[in-house]
């Protein structure tokens, strides 16, 4: 599962006050982020028990098999919970306040944390069906978010 | 019924609040000095020391002028109060140590400690991968849990308000508490949102302060200055897998497990408890702890709290000191001291009448339960 480190992968996750934090792309998670750049949601999936999981790791957390492969997921899921953040924890998020953070349970099982977009600013709803959208930040980073399905 | 084999023989606390002239060593030393005085012991009587949140163990022992045979240092996470107590139990029950001091020093308020943004290291720090989405802080993590609990069970902000008001009213009876002025439901509802649905008054109070406990065997405890408070049962349960997400069972399984194990060890049950000390970094944690420990049914903590059961004079007086929400965020340590003080009858206006057994619970990625008793069996 471990891919060789990429020289071009942004490694800094220490945000400057002017920029939003960037994800740390580790050797284990690089295939996930590479998939996002191609607008594909890839999940580490066990070839023995068939279940997908996050975060990526050396073995399947359900059956401890090491026969893992990255498989394309549907990008569909439901909002399992959310929070509306009012406090300015990161200066770069100040213009967005208050903003939502949703937790999405994907059809394949794993959860992802992201933002709900394209919903007209209303509050997210628990149980709401959503689908993935890919937000291109720059040449090296595309972030998955979700919109109402 | 099981015979207690270990006891708390000394407790010490500093003032809480803004104490900029003290660093974490000073605060820990102040608390330890008080705890030793309380026990009728001296520094030379310690052969084990566990320091928490104080930056360095060697420096701390150098200041105290002691060379204990056992020493360790633990991270400044609230869940570590019970882990340290468990370590002290293992040390004295194995015979490796006779008298262990547990010392906590926190200068978080003066040092400007924050629990979100770039300094967010809640839990494993694994949640930092969600920073690009603006997801940060243990408060937001607990807000996600509470939002889900509200949708699943109908828990309301009014229930959280009653919890916060209860602890504030208790703090009003505790001269050591930092926030003692009562507030109303309107005050609660009008307090600013931090991580919706959690408001300012759902959050604990970051302050400066120190706490120390002295633990020894039941046999040695008889020689100390004050009546010993017996540790009749204790248990821990980790919940680490997938812990960069809020647990979908609100830590119910782990809290039920530690409660059951510690009660079995103590030979006691919920009906035997006269007071509860529940880790309250945020109001929802108390709700989840009450459900996990079985003081109310699953999903029923909101109405249970709203009925007033946690107030002094009612069935399960909880966080009689005011807890983290209103006394001071001393990361579980001061709640353990409050358990001891209740069982010694030292609590003045907030004393629970005829307190014989007190249950400490913390719901977190390491869940814990400790049963304290006035009597050894």
Q: What are the C-alpha distances in Å from A9 to residues A33, A122, B271?
A: 10, 35, 58
Taking any CB pair shorter than 8 Å as contact, residues of chain A touching chain B are 13-15, 20-24, 29, 55, 61, 80-87, 89-90, 93, 96, 98-99, 101, 103, 111, 113-115, 126-127, 143, 145
Of A128, A18, A135, residue with least CA distance to A79: A128
Please give the pLDDT value at position B290.
98
Question: What 8-state DSSP symbol labels residue B278?
Answer: E
Kindly state whether residue B129 falls inside one of the protein's structural domains. Answer: no
The H or E element spanning position A101 is strand A99-106
* Block residue for tokens 């990361």: B331
Please give the pLDDT value at position A142.
97
Please give the pLDDT value at position A5.
39
Kindly state whether residue A19 falls inside one of the protein's structural domains. Answer: no
3-state helix, strand, coil in chain B (%, to 5): 40, 20, 40
Domain of A47? 30-148
Query: How many domains is chain A built from?
Result: 1
Kindly state whether residue B149 falls inside one of the protein's structural domains. Answer: no
Q: What are phi and psi of B109, to 5 degrees?
A: -70, -50
For β-strands B275-278 and B229-238, DSSP reports them as unpaired
Domain of B226? 6-111+205-373
The two three-digit tokens of residue B245, written as one number: 């997400």
Torsion of CA B245, B248, B249, B254, to 10 degrees: -30
Kindly state whether residue A130 falls inside one of the protein's structural domains. Answer: yes
Question: Which chain B residue shows the shortest CA-CA distance from A145?
Answer: B133
Inter-chain contact A86–B196, Cβ cutoff 8 Å? yes
Strands in B56-136 per DSSP E = 70-74, 99-107
Kindly state whether residue B328 falls inside one of the protein's structural domains. Answer: yes
| Secondary structure class of B368 (helix, strand, coil) | strand
Question: What pLDDT digit, counting tens, does each position of A56-110 carry?
Answer: 999 999 999 999 999 999 999 999 999 999 999 999 999 999 999 999 999 999 9
Please give the pLDDT value at position B2.
67
Kindly state whether residue B135 falls inside one of the protein's structural domains. Answer: no
Which CATH number belongs to the domain containing residue B362 in this structure?
Answer: 3.40.47.10
Q: What are phi and psi of A62, to 5 degrees?
A: -95, -40
Torsion of CA A79, A80, A83, A84, to 10 degrees: 20
Q: Can you tell me the distance from the alpha carbon of B289 to that of B360, in angstroms, rounded to the nearest whole number?
A: 10
Determine the Cα angle at B248 with ends B261 and B166, to 5°: 70
- Contacts for B313 with CB less than 8 Å, ≥ 6 apart: none
Kindly state whether residue A116 falls inside one of the protein's structural domains. Answer: yes
Q: Can you tell me the distance from the alpha carbon of B216 to that of A116, in angstroms, rounded to the nearest whole number?
A: 54
Q: CB-side exposure of A27: number of CA atoms within 13 Å? A: 7
CA A119 to chain B, closest CA, distance in angstroms equals 16
Given A13, A29, A80, which is nearest B131 (Cβ)?
A13
Inter-chain contact B135–A101, Cβ cutoff 8 Å? yes
Kindly state whether residue B198 falls inside one of the protein's structural domains. Answer: no
Please give the pLDDT value at position A82.
98
Query: How many domains is chain B built from?
Result: 1
Inter-chain contact A55–B134, Cβ cutoff 8 Å? no
Of A69, A68, A140, A82, residue with least CA distance to A112: A82
Kindly state whether residue A129 falls inside one of the protein's structural domains. Answer: yes
- Give me the mean pLDDT over the A39-55 stretch: 96
Of B201, B231, B367, residue with least CA distance to B291: B367
Contacts of B151 in chain A (CB under 8 A): 81, 126-127
Inter-chain contact B135–A83, Cβ cutoff 8 Å? yes
Kindly state whether residue A110 falls inside one of the protein's structural domains. Answer: yes
SS (H, E, C) A18-67: CCCCCCCCCCCCHHHHHHHHCCCCEEEEECCCCCECCCCCCCCCCCCCCC
| Residue B362 near residue B81 (C-beta atoms within 8 A) | yes
With a cut of 50, say whether residue A6 has pLDDT above it: no
Kindly state whether residue B174 falls inside one of the protein's structural domains. Answer: no
Inter-chain contact A83–B195, Cβ cutoff 8 Å? yes
Q: CB-side exposure of B325: number of CA atoms within 13 Å? A: 36
Question: What 8-state DSSP symbol labels residue B351?
Answer: P
Q: pLDDT tens, position by position, for chain B (377 residues)? A: 467 899 999 999 999 999 999 999 999 999 999 999 999 999 999 999 999 999 999 999 999 999 999 999 999 999 999 999 999 999 999 999 999 999 999 999 999 988 898 888 777 777 888 999 999 999 999 999 999 999 999 999 999 999 999 999 999 999 999 999 999 999 999 999 999 999 999 999 999 999 999 999 999 999 999 999 999 999 999 999 888 889 999 999 999 999 999 999 999 999 999 999 999 999 999 999 999 999 999 999 999 999 999 999 999 999 999 999 999 999 999 999 999 999 999 999 999 999 999 999 999 999 999 999 999 99
ipTM comes to 0.92
The two three-digit tokens of residue B371, written as one number: 């049963």
Please give the pLDDT value at position A16.
56
For β-strands A76-85 and A68-72, DSSP reports them as unpaired
Kindly state whether residue A144 falls inside one of the protein's structural domains. Answer: yes
The two three-digit tokens of residue B160, written as one number: 């959280």
Kindly state whether residue A11 falls inside one of the protein's structural domains. Answer: no
Give the best residue of A30, A79, A89, A99 to mutate against chain B (max B CB count within 10 A): A89
């Amino acid at each position: 599962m471990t891919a060789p480190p990429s020289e071009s992968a942004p490694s800094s996750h220490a945000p400057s006050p002017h920029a939003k934090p960037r994800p740390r792309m580790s050797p284990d998670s690089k295939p996930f982020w590479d998939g996002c750049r191609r607008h594909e949601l890839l999940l580490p999936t066990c070839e023995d028990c068939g279940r997908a999981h996050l975060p990526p790791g050396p073995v399947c957390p359900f059956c401890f098999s090491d026969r893992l492969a990255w498989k394309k997921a549907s990008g569909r899921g439901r909002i399992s919970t959310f929070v509306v953040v009012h406090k300015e924890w990161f200066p770069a998020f100040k213009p967005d306040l208050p903003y939502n953070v949703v937790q999405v349970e994907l059809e394949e099982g794993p959860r992802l944390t992201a933002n709900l977009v394209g919903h007209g600013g209303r509050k997210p709803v628990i149980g709401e069906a959503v689908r993935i959208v890919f937000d291109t930040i720059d040449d090296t980073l595309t972030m998955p978010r979700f919109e109402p399905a | 019924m099981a015979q207690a084999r270990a006891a708390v023989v000394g407790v010490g606390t500093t003032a809480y609040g803004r104490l900029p002239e003290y660093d974490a060593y000073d605060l820990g030393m102040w608390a330890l000095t008080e705890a030793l005085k309380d026990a009728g012991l001296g520094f030379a009587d310690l052969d084990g020391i566990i320091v928490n949140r104080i930056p360095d163990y060697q420096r701390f022992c150098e200041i105290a002028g002691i060379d204990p045979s056992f020493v360790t240092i633990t991270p400044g996470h609230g869940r570590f109060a019970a882990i340290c107590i468990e370590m002290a139990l293992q040390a004295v029950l194995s015979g490796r140590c006779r008298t262990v001091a547990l010392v906590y020093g926190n200068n978080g308020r003066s040092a400007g400690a924050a629990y979100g943004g770039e300094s967010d290291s809640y839990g494993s720090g694994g949640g930092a991968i969600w920073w690009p989405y603006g997801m940060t802080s243990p408060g937001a993590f607990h807000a996600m849990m509470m939002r889900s609990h509200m949708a699943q069970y109908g828990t309301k902000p009014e229930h959280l308000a009653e919890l916060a008001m209860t602890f504030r009213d208790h703090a009003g009876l505790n001269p050591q508490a930092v926030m003692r002025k009562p507030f109303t439901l309107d005050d609660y509802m009008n307090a600013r949102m931090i991580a919706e649905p959690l408001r300012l008054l759902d959050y604990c109070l970051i302050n400066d302060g120190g706490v120390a406990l002295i633990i020894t065997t039941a046999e040695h405890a008889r020689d100390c200055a004050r009546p010993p408070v017996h540790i009749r049962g204790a248990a821990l349960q980790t919940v680490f897998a997938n812990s960069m997400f809020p647990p979908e069972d609100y830590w119910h399984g782990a809290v039920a497990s530690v409660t059951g194990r510690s009660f079995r060890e103590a030979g006691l049950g919920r009906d035997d408890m006269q007071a509860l000390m529940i880790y309250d970094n945020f109001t929802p944690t108390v709700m989840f702890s009450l459900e996990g420990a079985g003081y109310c049914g699953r999903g029923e903590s909101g109405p249970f709290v709203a009925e007033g059961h946690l107030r002094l004079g009612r069935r399960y007086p909880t966080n009689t000191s005011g807890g983290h929400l209103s006394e001071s965020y001393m990361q579980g340590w001061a709640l353990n001291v409050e358990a001891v003080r209740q069982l010694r009858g030292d609590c003045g206006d907030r004393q629970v009448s005829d307190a014989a057994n007190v249950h400490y619970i913390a719901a977190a990625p390491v869940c814990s339960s400790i049963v304290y008793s006035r009597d050894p069996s």
